[in-house]
Amino acid sequence: MKVNFYDFLDTLKNTSLDHDNNEYMCQSLKEVINFEDFVEEYYTFYGLKGKCDAPADALYINKDSIYYLIEFKNGVINSKTKRNIKDKMKSSILSLIGNIDGSMPFVRERVIFILVYNEKKNEDPLFDLKSNLAKKAGAPIYRFDLKKYKGIFFENVFTYNENEFNTFVSKIIT
């Protein structure tokens, strides 16, 4: 490991801040790694200060060494935002692999990507119907064309609105 992840501890609340609107998407004070700050330091380590691509907002590593990359999106998710999310996925993977001397098989087996979105700004009645059916069937729910990255880039990909994410946090992040 070239840069210590744990030098960048922060709260989920702080990593969820939408700087443009001064709004937090999560109120949890549970500790995670501020992945944006980590990646900035990682690039600085290689003499590339100020040249890093935008990564995910937060990283949580559980006791079983499963890595959760978390991206918060408070606005409307359109085609431009989807490209931005995909770019953040790639940047995050490269920085993570580079820092731990990992590989793509490692990422496919041990890294989960989570997108937390603002439900009010991304209302979709048809998706709500599909979501309710999927929940009843116990199936995962994917939005914004992110399912295709499961197994290619990540072990799994989840899309959660703020309430769903808070439920996830209460169960998974200790």
Closest of 116, 93, 121, 95 to residue 106, by C-alpha: 93
Tens digits of residue pLDDT in 139-170: 667 778 888 899 889 999 999 999 989 988 88
Query: How much is the average pLDDT of 125-139?
Result: 62
Q: For position 69, what pLDDT does the model report?
A: 97
Q: For position 12, what pLDDT does the model report?
A: 95
Round the average pLDDT of the chain to a whole number and report it.
87
Asked if the model's pLDDT at residue 119 lies above 90, the reply is: no
Q: For position 127, what pLDDT does the model report?
A: 65
Q: Quote the crossing angle between the two packed helices 79-100 and 35-45, to the nearest 10°.
A: 60
Q: Which of 36-45, 48-57, 66-75, 131-140 has the highest mean pLDDT?
A: 66-75
pTM: 0.89
Where are the domains positioned within the chain? 5-172
DSSP of the chain: --S-GGGGEEEHHHHTEETTTTEES-----EEEEHHHHHHHHHHHTT-TT-PPP--SEEEE-TT--EEEEEEE-S---HHHHHHHHHHHHHHHHHHHHHHT--HHHHHHHEEEEEEE-TGGG--HHHHHHHHHHHHHT-----TT-GGGBTTTBSEEEEEEHHHHHHHHHHH--
Measured in whole angstroms, how far is the alpha carbon of residue 121 from the centre of its chain? 19
pLDDT-based confidence at residue 55 (cuts at 50, 70, 90)? very high
Asked if the model's pLDDT at residue 1 lies above 60, the reply is: no
- How far is residue 113's CA from residue 128's CA, in Å, rounded to a whole number? 22
Tens digits of residue pLDDT in 75-87: 998 999 999 999 9
Q: Is 143 or 3 the better-scoring residue by pLDDT?
A: 3
Query: How much is the average pLDDT of 28-33?
Result: 94
Asked if the model's pLDDT at residue 136 lies above 90, the reply is: no
